[in-house]
Amino acid sequence: MKFQYVFLALAACLAEALPTFDGSRHVWFTFPGFFPTFESSFPIGNGRVAASIYGGASEVLGITENSIWTGPFQDRIASTALAAEPVVREMLLAGNLSEAREYAYEHMISNVTSPRSFSYFGNIGIDFGHAEEEMTDYVRWLDTREGMVGVEYVVDGVTYTREYIANYPSGVLAARFTASAGGELNMNISMTGLIKILSVTAAAAQDNNTLTLRGSSGQSVDPILWTGQARFVPDEGAVVGVSGTNLIITNASTVDMFFDAETSYRYASEAAWEAEMQRKIDAAFALGYDAVKSAAIADIIAFLGRVTLDLGTSPNGWAALPTDQRLAIARNTSEDVQLSTLVFNFGRHLLAASSRPSNDGTVALPANLQGIWNNSTSAPFGGKYTININIEMNYWPAGPTNMIETQLPLFDLIGVATPRGQSAAERMYGCPGTVFHHNLDLWGDPAPTDNFTQSTMWPFGSAWLAWHAIDHYRFTLDKTFLQEVAYPFLSEVATFYECYAFENDGHNVTGPSLSPENRFMVPLNESVPGASEAVDIAPAMDGQLMTEIFQGFLEAASLLGIPDSDPAVAAARTFLPTIKPQQIGSLGQILEWRVEYTELVPGQKHLSPLWALMPGRAFFSPHQQHALRCGTGAARSACVAWLGDHWLEPHLADLPVR
């Protein structure tokens, strides 16, 4: 048996053959990506460091690290907010809607309207001395199950391959470059960045050929600083030299690369983050490429391999075509069902590559608006943590597709943001507890962001994230998480709303707030008639969020055996039934706002007043809610049993899977 395995492994190594492409698993093209068109690159990542791989004749690897952002923490709480809030409420109650929004946006938000933006490390460029016209038999692929990228082509009868992998356990990116004929592999390697580059150095030394880049977010005080290093390991017979800031490798057959970048976000001094970077690179070097690769694959398969989706086989041999041809076909028909499976697998690859929990005690950061990939110093919408649907949506598939651990970095960020939110609660609203508006950055900056009518004034990002805290428990049944993470955060969030809400028409309501990201026409009896506004009192979604947060808080308290006499529990019990209930409009619709205003964008894509339907649970019956909470993961049967609702069992099969 043993010999047989060795033989098979050896045969696999020697063949270095193309993978047999699986139409449900591989994205593949017969042409390179078009640098700098970012969207044409292949993304890989280990949750912290990532690469966008173009695969051209001259290779470009766009490198990101999730704590490289545009600068230090900014305190953006407007000192005039606290005094302005009651004024704005009076204006709203008097029907002076435009005046209220103007006053709020002049006095309750900072004149520094933007938090920090996600940025990027830079590019590793590799010139192989090949021209695009000389390349034949070109193919590049992304394996969505192993998280690997490959490139293969022929120049002058020599086959060249490139292989890229992101390793989560050891924290590095690794690559192997080969030529089928000995000594034919030549590489002229550069490292470039777009932001403030402090230094780029190339060094050729026995067993230690490196390119090192040090960069800065550029501020004179407290900039974010980083160092990234790529170490190249050629086979014997290769010649390595330095030309300016480039590393030149000639006459090689195989070259391996190990890369890491570390930043001042996680380490207090340059010495500390560079020591960590060297430790990771040295460890990977000591293991060698094959071991780094197999460890990365073993890790990711154990994780992504928990779910297999089978929607059937595509007709007409479509699944065997390169992905661009399938996408063209898909414009006409949805019959290429394996393309849907591929999209599902691609999505899980992206989440696994952009969001993994910390494995060394440092802070992990969640997937941002760009996941973890971008090629610009300032990504669209800042590549922030936009928490009025976007970041939450990144994690909607995490539980149902059995990769709930990817959500843990979200709670690391919540931990960073909670004290900032306490400061915002106190200084903007005079309240205890914590509050986040509709964005966070890596520093947890919770202040209102931008100056946009339909999104800025929304103190409910913290509520939506609190819902993720209780939902995470419902998927994992992890009591330690419930006690140490979910309950304290739910408590902070509930405490804020108990203070922030005010009485109107016999209920506790919210405002100034809005229904992300829709606007309405101001009616004739209010001012200014016909203007499009968004800021008001008691949008439906606020009530829906508070209801489920208070229910979740009480559920958590009961699970943890915290008695009803506990003051926080007693306060929540008093408050929950006083939240303004949903209103039904003239068409039977859930009213988005307190008045049946005319929507500016009917069916606006956020569908904010339907939060209670999805991801909320309010429109399900209680027994459906219980069953849905159990998710579809390995813990489902234990969860159902734990719920004790044995009478539910026969109904479970009929319920929609979330």
Ligand X SMILES: *[C@@H]1O[C@H](CO)[C@@H](O)[C@H](O)[C@H]1NC(C)=O
Nearer to ligand X, 457 or 486 (CB): 457
Q: Name the phi and psi angles at 404, rounded to 5.
A: -60, -25
CB of 316 to ligand X, least distance (A): 10
How far from each other are the two terminal CA atoms of the chain, in whole angstroms?
A: 44
Q: Which residue is nearest to ligand X (CB)?
A: 95
Specify the DSSP class assigned to residue 602: T
Nearer to ligand X, 166 or 522 (CB): 522
**In 3D, which of 432, 412, 430, 413 has the Cα closest to residue 422?**
432
Is residue 533 within the footprint of ligand X (CB under 6 A)? Answer: no
Is residue 190 within the footprint of ligand X (CB under 6 A)? Answer: yes
Does residue 196 sit in helix, strand or coil?
Answer: strand
CB of 243 to ligand X, least distance (A): 5
Contact 167, 295 (CB under 8 A): yes
Is residue 208 within the footprint of ligand X (CB under 6 A)? Answer: yes
Does residue 625 sit in helix, strand or coil?
Answer: helix
Is residue 574 within the footprint of ligand X (CB under 6 A)? Answer: yes
Nearer to ligand X, 498 or 542 (CB): 498
Is residue 75 within the footprint of ligand X (CB under 6 A)? Answer: no
- What angle, 0 to 180 degrees and rounded to 10, lies between the N-to-C axes of helices 461-476 and 487-500? 150
Touching ligand X, residues 24-53 (CB under 6 A)? 36-39
Is residue 548 within the footprint of ligand X (CB under 6 A)? Answer: no
| Residue 357: CA count within 13 A, CB half-sphere | 11
Is residue 90 within the footprint of ligand X (CB under 6 A)? Answer: yes
Give all strands of the β-sheet with 196-203 in edge-to-edge order.
26-29, 136-143, 148-155, 158-166, 173-179, 254-263, 225-234, 209-216, 196-203
Nearer to ligand X, 416 or 514 (CB): 514
CB of 231 to ligand X, least distance (A): 7
Q: Which amino acid is at 284?
A: A
- The residue within the footprint of ligand X, chosen from 188, 340, 423, 624 (CB under 6 A), is 188
Q: Is 629 exposed, middle or buried (0-12, 13-18, 19+ CB in 10 A)?
A: buried
Nearest-angstrom CA–CA distance, 562 and 188:
64
Give the total of residues touching ligand X (CB under 6 A): 55
Does residue 246 sit in helix, strand or coil?
Answer: strand
Q: Which residues pair with 62 in a beta bridge?
A: 52, 123
Q: Name the phi and psi angles at 534, rounded to 5.
A: -145, -30
Cβ atoms within 10 A of the Cβ of 134, count? Answer: 12
Is residue 498 within the footprint of ligand X (CB under 6 A)? Answer: yes
Is residue 96 within the footprint of ligand X (CB under 6 A)? Answer: yes
Q: Which amino acid is at 320?
A: A
Nearer to ligand X, 111 or 621 (CB): 111
Is residue 583 within the footprint of ligand X (CB under 6 A)? Answer: no
Is residue 598 within the footprint of ligand X (CB under 6 A)? Answer: no
Specify the DSSP class assigned to residue 594: S
Is residue 591 within the footprint of ligand X (CB under 6 A)? Answer: no
Nearer to ligand X, 278 or 340 (CB): 278
Q: Which amino acid is at 292?
A: V
Cβ atoms within 10 A of the Cβ of 2, count? Answer: 6
Nearer to ligand X, 192 or 483 (CB): 192
| Residue 433: CA count within 13 A, CB half-sphere | 25
CB of 21 to ligand X, least distance (A): 19
Nearest-angstrom CA–CA distance, 74 and 451:
17
Nearest-angstrom CA–CA distance, 125 and 507:
62
Is residue 394 within the footprint of ligand X (CB under 6 A)? Answer: no
CB of 217 to ligand X, least distance (A): 16
Nearer to ligand X, 28 or 500 (CB): 500
Specify the DSSP class assigned to residue 482: I
Is residue 575 within the footprint of ligand X (CB under 6 A)? Answer: yes
- The residue within the footprint of ligand X, chosen from 21, 54, 69, 105 (CB under 6 A), is 105
- The residue within the footprint of ligand X, chosen from 10, 12, 18, 239 (CB under 6 A), is 239
Nearer to ligand X, 450 or 645 (CB): 450
Q: Which stretch binds ligand X (CB under 6 A): 243-251, 347-355, 402-410, 426-434?
A: 243-251
Touching ligand X, residues 431-490 (CB under 6 A)? 451
Is residue 203 within the footprint of ligand X (CB under 6 A)? Answer: yes
**In 3D, which of 58, 48, 274 has the Cα closest to residue 166?**
48
Cβ atoms within 10 A of the Cβ of 373, count? Answer: 26
- The residue within the footprint of ligand X, chosen from 161, 278, 583, 624 (CB under 6 A), is 278
Nearer to ligand X, 217 or 375 (CB): 375
Q: Name the phi and psi angles at 78, rounded to 5.
A: -75, 130
Is residue 235 within the footprint of ligand X (CB under 6 A)? Answer: no
Is residue 106 within the footprint of ligand X (CB under 6 A)? Answer: yes
Written as six digits, the tokens of 205 are 């030394």
Q: Which stretch binds ligand X (CB under 6 A): 16-24, 286-294, 296-304, 368-376?
A: 368-376
Is residue 324 within the footprint of ligand X (CB under 6 A)? Answer: no
Is residue 376 within the footprint of ligand X (CB under 6 A)? Answer: yes
Nearest-angstrom CA–CA distance, 245 and 191:
8
CB of 54 to ligand X, least distance (A): 10
Is residue 91 within the footprint of ligand X (CB under 6 A)? Answer: yes
Cβ atoms within 10 A of the Cβ of 442, count? Answer: 27
Q: Is 204 exposed, middle or buried (0-12, 13-18, 19+ CB in 10 A)?
A: middle
Is residue 210 within the footprint of ligand X (CB under 6 A)? Answer: yes
Nearer to ligand X, 579 or 630 (CB): 579
Nearer to ligand X, 8 or 239 (CB): 239
Cβ atoms within 10 A of the Cβ of 137, count? Answer: 11
Is residue 124 within the footprint of ligand X (CB under 6 A)? Answer: no
**Contacting positions for ligand X (CB under 6 A):** 36-39, 90-91, 94-96, 105-106, 109, 111, 127, 183, 188, 190, 194, 203, 205, 208, 210, 212, 239, 243, 246, 248, 250-251, 278, 282, 328-329, 332, 370, 373-376, 379-380, 451, 498, 503, 506-508, 523, 525-527, 574-575, 578, 595
